[in-house]
Structure 1
Amino acid sequence: MTTATAPAPTTATGASPHLLRWLLRLHRPALYVWTATVLVLAAALLWLGGPLTDAAVTGWRQYDACRGATTCAYDQDAILRYKDVYTYTTWAVLALPLLVAGWAGAALIGGELESGTAHLAWTQGVSPTRWLAAKLAVPGALTAVGTALLVVLHRRAWLAGEHGIDTAKPWSSLETFYANGPLPVALALAGLTAGALVGLARRRALAALVGGLSATLALWGTVQLAVPRLYPAVTTYTGLRHDGPAGSGITLDSGVVTADGTRVPDVFCGSAEYPRCRAVYDKLDAVGFYSTYHPSSHYWPLQWTGTGIVLAVAVLSAVAAFTLIARRTARKASTV
């Protein structure tokens, strides 16, 4: 059985270096895991954006050069390897906010309250609010720096293969859109504060783990549904001789327009040049196609809109956490 050593008292001017060292020592395994995760993913993304992309681009050039030939020799393994590594690293970057939220709830806050380590620190001259401030500030800085580094490397890797790999993910694909911008950084910080808030509320490691993960997943799902609808989209109209609704990007709605201006969901038939499709459109009294979507020029406005919303949630969660711990400790003090 080991005994936790409480940090030295802090002054009114700020957190003591002893408190920070104690925090890092107490959560040293988590620091090692986070550092290893960031380093491994960074190495994988550098490999993806360098040698893997070069090999895949060469493979596609070989494939394009021998189209129409009876036999074709191209490096299929390089193409498939690029696809696999891109998929795995992308989803790993997107999973970081969940990793942070689960750890914040279970170990950073909930576990310490359940084991009594937090209360021991409070009896040694560290106020609960200062304790919580250190708990959020140090992991928050490490989380932001690590996640931001991986996002930059992911975007670099995607840009390297954007025009040379025929099967490269477009900017508008769900996983690429979120892994290529600042949203994962904001989500990781929101996951940290949400996990801390749930940990303070539940004061049990397992309950805080589940609650932190659930809150972050709910926030992520809400962002995916809301952000494309919070920024004005573009609507284009085309004639029925086209193969379908036009417009490339994040599509919100598409279909056919009738003579009286009514919008009807897309019937996925194709151009009116085909007699069968012509009959379908005549039955609907359709006169053209429409598509409401976000083009590539909306990428950064969408990213910053979503990032602002998530950061606001992170700030509100942090404020709620400080309010909760202040009220609880004040209530306990009044009963003593």
Structure 2
Amino acid sequence: MTTTLLRVHRAATAVWIALILVLTVWTLWLNQVTAHHTRAAQTHCAQDYCDAVASPYGGEAGMVALLIGYAFLLVAGYAGGALIGRELESGTAHLAWTQGVTPTRWLTAKLALPALTLTAGLTLLVTVFHWTWAANRDLTFDDWYTPALFLARGPAAVAYALCALAVGTLTALLLRRALPALGVSVAVMWLLAITMETYRADLWPTRTRTATHPVDLPEHAWELAGGRNADVYYVVFHPESHYWPLQLVECGIVLALAATATATSFTLLRRRTA
């Protein structure tokens, strides 16, 4: 099954490896070349124009973060369309089941190899990007709580990709058509990402500061609410130290959804092929 999968999906594997290599090289280029030239330009710029000098680096870093953080949408489309949906629609899966490959073994191979490939590739990307962003944080305008940066710098990028693989598989098993499964898988994962982004601040207890004068927040704090109540100023925020608790709680939720979708897929397949 492993040999067959690699042969059938060799084009997709090549595209994924190429994407990983391109984004890794781009990130290293930003860190080693673009950041160096930006800092050199800042030493000669007028103070009012230094932000404009830094903007090209910040824009490229934000684009890389966007591609890493939301790569799961590609995974959802591929899992629902080509990986599972196309084989169910064309009858290739049924042919495999008549050649001594059980449906459970077929689905296990279909999920295990892509999951390993996704985990390895995104772990490399997240590690390299986290290191690059930390080294040149002063050149970017986005902070740690920006949605794309939040995903691209931690294990949440891997968790979302694995969840997209599971959701795409389940959708394909339910619809048994490649194009509808592709569209529904992407829509479901996009809705999940928007939902988690909306309620992300509630995944960990916030902090509140009050004072009789306007409150000063810690550097890089994520301000959620603030104002004045009678003679007391208040502000609700997440300090930067809350990044990892928020990241790990979200990872746990997304991985739990991935496990649920995977278990449901196996149950559904066993019932249909009993």
TM bucket, shorter chain: over 0.9
Greater Cα offset, 173-182 or 100-109: 173-182
- Where does residue 265 of structure 2 map in the other structure? 321
AA in 2 matched with 1:29: A
Give the count of matched residue pairs: 273
- Where does residue 94 of structure 2 map in the other structure? 119
Question: Residue 212 in 1 paired to residue 185 in 2?
Answer: yes
Q: Deviations over 1:239-291 (max 9, x none)?
A: 24x3x67455223322222xxxxxxxxxxxxxxxxxxxxxxxxxxxx212211
Q: 2:59 aligns with which of 74, 84, 94?
A: 84
Larger Rg: 1 or 2? 1
Distance change >3 Å, CA 172–CA 62, structure 1 → 2: farther
Q: How does 1:40-189 map to 2 (within 5 A)?
A: 40-63=22-45, 66-67=46-47, 79-163=54-138, 165=139, 167-189=140-162
Following superposition, the deviation at residue 221 of structure 1 comes to 1.6
Following superposition, the deviation at residue 29 of structure 1 comes to 1.0
Following superposition, the deviation at residue 178 of structure 1 comes to 1.8
Task: State whether residues 227 and 305 of structure 1, in contact with CA within 8 Å, keep that contact through their aligned partners in structure 2.
Answer: no
AA in 1 matched with 2:191: A
Following superposition, the deviation at residue 329 of structure 1 comes to 0.5
Task: State whether residues 57 and 161 of structure 1, in contact with CA within 8 Å, keep that contact through their aligned partners in structure 2.
Answer: no
- Where does residue 203 of structure 2 map in the other structure? 230
Following superposition, the deviation at residue 90 of structure 1 comes to 1.3
Q: Deviations over 1:206-242 (max 9, x none)?
A: 11101110111122122212332021110111324x3
Structure 2 distance, partners of 1:76, 1:252, is 28
- Where does residue 10 of structure 2 map in the other structure? 28
- Between the aligned residues of both structures, percent identity stands at 40
- Where does residue 268 of structure 1 map in the other structure? none
Structure 2 distance, partners of 1:26, 1:184, is 26
Following superposition, the deviation at residue 85 of structure 1 comes to 1.6
Task: State whether residues 76 and 186 of structure 2, in contact with CA within 8 Å, keep that contact through their aligned partners in structure 1.
Answer: yes
AA in 1 matched with 2:183: V
Structure 2 distance, partners of 1:203, 1:245, is 56
**Higher RCO, 1 vs 2 (CA within 8 Å, ≥6 residues apart):** 2
AA in 2 matched with 1:51: V
Distance change >3 Å, CA 173–CA 60, structure 1 → 2: farther
- Where does residue 310 of structure 1 map in the other structure? 254
Distance change >3 Å, CA 311–CA 60, structure 1 → 2: same
Task: State whether residues 122 and 128 of structure 1, in contact with CA within 8 Å, keep that contact through their aligned partners in structure 2.
Answer: yes
**RMSD, aligned CA:** 1.9
Following superposition, the deviation at residue 81 of structure 1 comes to 3.0
Structure 2 distance, partners of 1:67, 1:36, is 40
Q: 2:227 aligns with which of 237, 255, 274?
A: 255
Query: Where does structure 1 lack aligned partners over 5 or more consecutive residues?
Result: 1-18, 258-285, 331-336
Structure 1 distance, partners of 2:13, 2:88, is 20
- Where does residue 271 of structure 1 map in the other structure? none
Structure 2 distance, partners of 1:186, 1:303, is 10
Structure 2 distance, partners of 1:46, 1:189, is 25
Structure 2 distance, partners of 1:245, 1:67, is 25
Q: The residue matched to 1:62 in structure 2 has which SS? A: coil
Greater Cα offset, 54-63 or 304-313: 54-63
Following superposition, the deviation at residue 142 of structure 1 comes to 0.3
Structure 1 distance, partners of 2:2, 2:93, is 14
